[in-house]
Amino acid sequence: MASLIVLVHAPVLGPATWQPVATALSRAGHQVVVPSLTGFADDGPPYAPRLIRMAASQMPAGPGDEVILVVHSGAGLFVPNLAVAAAAGSVAAVFVDAGLPRQSGPVTVVEPEFLPFVRELADARSDGMVPPWPQWWPEEEISALFPDQPTRQAVIAEACPTPLAFYQETLPPLAEGWPSCGAAYLVFSEPYRRQADVAAQAGWPVRELPGGHLHMLVRPAEVAGAITSLAARARAAGPALSSLPAAPG
C-alpha cells in the first residue's frame, strides 16, 4: 500500500506554512502533497464543504493507498470529513498544534467560546470579514514565530481576510459516523496543551516539541521526523479518532 503524506494548512494561513516540512519529507523519500485552500471562501457560503472538496481534490490517492493527514491549527476540526473525502484505502491523522474535531450534534467551525473573539475582530471592520490571522495578535508575538524575514513575508502574503460567517458555519454531517482512522498529536505551544491532554486521555500517541505555533517553520527537519514517527504509532494504535469525547451539550 503506497503512503501519501498530506500536509493541510490552517484555513486562515496558506501552504507556505508547510513547505519547509514538505521539502524535508520529500528529501527523506516520502510522497508529499500540500493542498492549497486559498480561495475557499471566495464564492460565498457554504464554506466548509468547499474547503473539504478543495483539499480532497489535491490528494492523489485511491482505494489501494494510505493517506496520512497532517493538520495544523484550525484544520484539525475537518479531519473526519477529510478522511472520508480522501477515499483512500486507509487514513491516519497527525494533529500538529491543532484543534480537535468534536462529536455529537451540530458542530461549528470554531468552538463556541472562541466566537466572541473573532466576532470582535470582524466588528472592527465594516465588511463582515475577520482580518488576516497575523493581525489577530500583537506584533511582538507574531515576529517570534518566524525564523527569518523571508519566511515571515511568504506566510503573511498568503493570509487573507475570512468571512465571519465561516466561523459560525456548521460542518457537514458524516452520514455513517466517524471514519476508522488512527490518530496522534504533536504539540508545540502552550495554548494547545489542553488539546494534547485530551488526545492523551483518549489513548493517542502524543509528543511535544516546545516552540511557537509555527514551529514547523523553525525546525522543519525535526518536525518532519516527529510526524513520520507519530504516523507510524497512529497506524499501530488503530481507529483512535472516534475515542475523542463527545462535544458538550
Residue 46 covered by a domain: yes
Residue 83 covered by a domain: yes
Task: Identify the CATH number of the domain in which residue 120 sits.
Answer: 3.40.50.1820
State the pLDDT at residue 161: 95
SS3 110: coil
Residue 102 covered by a domain: yes
- For residue 177 the three cell numbers come to 459516523
Count the domains in the chain: 1
State the pLDDT at residue 56: 96
State the pLDDT at residue 106: 78
Residue 249 covered by a domain: no
Domain hosting 59: range is 2-243
This prediction's pTM: 0.95
CA gap 169, 160 in Å, rounded: 18
Residue 227 covered by a domain: yes
State the pLDDT at residue 249: 34
Residue 226 covered by a domain: yes
State the pLDDT at residue 113: 87
Q: Mean pLDDT for each 10-residue chunk of the chain (249 residues)?
A: 90 98 97 97 94 96 93 96 92 96 80 90 89 94 96 96 94 81 96 95 95 98 98 84 65
Determine which helix (DSSP H) or strand (DSSP E) holds 163, and give its type and residue range: strand 162-163
Q: Cell 493570509 identifies what position?
A: 159
Furthest-apart CA atoms within the chain: distance in Å:
51
Q: Is the dihedral of CA 97, 174, 112, 35 positive or negative?
A: positive
